[in-house]
Amino acid sequence: MCGIAGIIGLESVSDAPCRISKMLQRLEHRGPDASGIFEASNAVLGHQRLSIIDLSNSGNQPFHSQNGRFTIVFNGEIYNYRELRSQLSDYNFITNTDTEVLLAAYMRWGNKCLQSLNGMFAFAIWDAERETTFIARDRLGIKPLYYAQSQGAFVFASEVRAMLASGLVEPKLNRSKLSDYLLYQTVHAPHTLIESVKMLMPGHYLEISDNEVNTHQYWVPWQTPHSDRDEFKVKKQVRELLTSSIEARLVADVPFGAFLSGGIDSSLVVTIMSQVMDRSVDTFNVSFDESEYSEARYARMIAEKYACNHHEILLKPDDFLNSLPEALAAVDHPSGDGPNTWIVSRETKRQGVTMALSGLGGDELFAGYDLFKRIPEIADKEWLLSFPKELRSLVAWIYKTYKPGMPSEKMAQVLTSDYFDLKHLYPLMRKVLLEPQVSGLLHTKSGGNAVFETVANWEEFHDFESLAVLSRISVAEMSTYMQNVLLRDTDQMSMAHALEVRVPFLDHRLVEYMVHVSDELKFPHRPKRLLVESFQDLLPNEIVDRPKMGFVLPWERWMRGELKSFCEERLSALGEHDAFHAGEIQKLWSTFLSSEKLSWSRLWPLVVLSDWMMKNDVQ
């Protein structure tokens, strides 16, 4: 796990090594163990290393092929590198790193090597003979890769801040994507909040030569169909695939453990780890409250059942509050979430751990969110569309009037919609604010609905429509909320502490299998039914039937109290930007302060955005 940077095309770029050095300084937190720069005729590559596999200096990067033709900078892990190494037996390996195996695989198979990789990765390979560059990102978007074409050069890095540090990228706000951010608390790839910076899409690679950049897609989630319909066989396969995924992610030459919240996903990861490891699992639970709402007792239950070396870290809410400025300083690209991951990662790293497994992805694959029930239920009521729209609008108005709040506003939009299909229902379910609120906040015109466009783009693949409804929702979840909020926040907030997080639920083999499982077997009549029943001998009922929680933090009280001036300063600064209506921001803030009708989570993304713009001098 590392940070990478590069500048390709040096004809119009002066002091490229110096620029890379500045970029690496912004990435040092991602890889504090070693730093390196490689200069070629028309490219400069940089690398910050966090040592996980083969801790010797021979694994430092940029890493060169023995003939000197190829140079690689690589961020991530290739979990099946030992298997690939055995397939490349005629290659004379000089290290025990997955980096060298990755480079050898590319030298042998070219871009087809991507189909053989099982891992999380973003890497660039410079070919000195052809003066070309190959850049790729993993299938699910676990590791980030940002890029820009500016001043005649192609610039890339693991973080937006490193891109800005190059001096080749202007810190100019991407106004056309502000509506995307306000609607969904993030900006969806390939776009970012910096106008000229894009994100390489998951499952894609770039080929760069002579200032020509070509993009190719090498993976879709449903590319490996199966016809398993027998319930026993499906459960057996789910069990084998998840167990295999976890086993593959236990390869490391540094101390490691697992996040343990006490929920189904993290509990299952720890349970399987305890069965396949030859030592006790180090588990980490951070809680802020010992009340009846605390998750700590559930985590403790699993830790005791499987004799884990459990680290229960109890923090007072004020401890978190005092750390909030530092957590916000770690934000590379803003979203409405992140500080929770920052605090968990900090406390885990303080225990001497460099890598941790997480249960992220279980909800997306196994229908863990309420919308997996709600969308099919609404779609089944398509007969409502036969009623005149005027009548449906009246019912919607009555519903909003007598039951005010965001859920009612969304249901009103459903009632007045012309379609009850996935590409119309799913984007609505994921909104943080609605279009009228966003339009009131912005001077700039909407840049369209990125979530709608993402789902619509998948529908262009003829075989997407053949997937069951829940599988299509899973693909939508993985392509939007998971990639652009959960994974992005997990990466930036864990790497702020040089902590690598591995996500076994996002093994591509498990993902490919699950998207072809029928709704009949997957429907969550109880929480994540298929997953639970595949491992029903391992999880206590108390874990399976417990309410879904998460950190219980007093955000409402903080934003009205201890954080009030902090929030007001940033909202005021945002109002001074000519992209925003200051009066509408103040109106939204006043509504929050005076009533319970507006959740803190609707305002917090605005605070984070303003703080990020101030810290990074975004104009």
Q: Quick one: DSSP state of residue 383?
A: G
Q: How far is CA 589 from CA 582, 597, 600, in A?
A: 11, 12, 9
Among 264, 258, 129, 349, residue whose Cα is nearest residue 535: 264
What tokens appear for 379 in the block? 């779609």
What tokens appear for 215 in the block? 């993009």
Omega before 62 within 30 of 0, i.e. cis: yes
Q: Are strands 204-209 and 153-157 parallel, antiparallel or unpaired?
A: unpaired
Number of other CB atoms surrounding residue 375 within 10 Å: 23
CA–CA dist 30, 330 (Å, integer): 11
CA–CA dist 276, 101 (Å, integer): 25
CA–CA dist 452, 194 (Å, integer): 22
Which residues share a beta bridge with 300?
none
CA–CA dist 457, 190 (Å, integer): 13
Q: Quick one: DSSP state of residue 176?
A: G
Q: Are strands 212-217 and 204-209 parallel, antiparallel or unpaired?
A: antiparallel
Q: How far is CA 617 from CA 154, 160, 568, in A?
A: 22, 13, 19
List all residues 6 or more positions away from 126 whose beta carbon is below 8 Å from its beta carbon: 6, 8, 38, 40, 43, 45, 70, 71, 72, 132, 133
Three-state SS annotation for 186-252? CCCCCECCECCCEECCCCEEEEEECCEEEEEECCCCCCCCCCCCCHHHHHHHHHHHHHHHHHHCCCC
* Phi and psi at residue 329, to the nearest 5°: -65, -20
Pair 193, 164: CB distance under 8 Å: no
Residue 183 C-alpha from the chain's centroid: 18
Annotated catalytic residue 2: yes
Among 200, 160, 165, residue whose Cα is nearest residue 332: 160
Annotated active-site residue in 2, 113, 308, 567: 2
Active-site residue numbers? 2
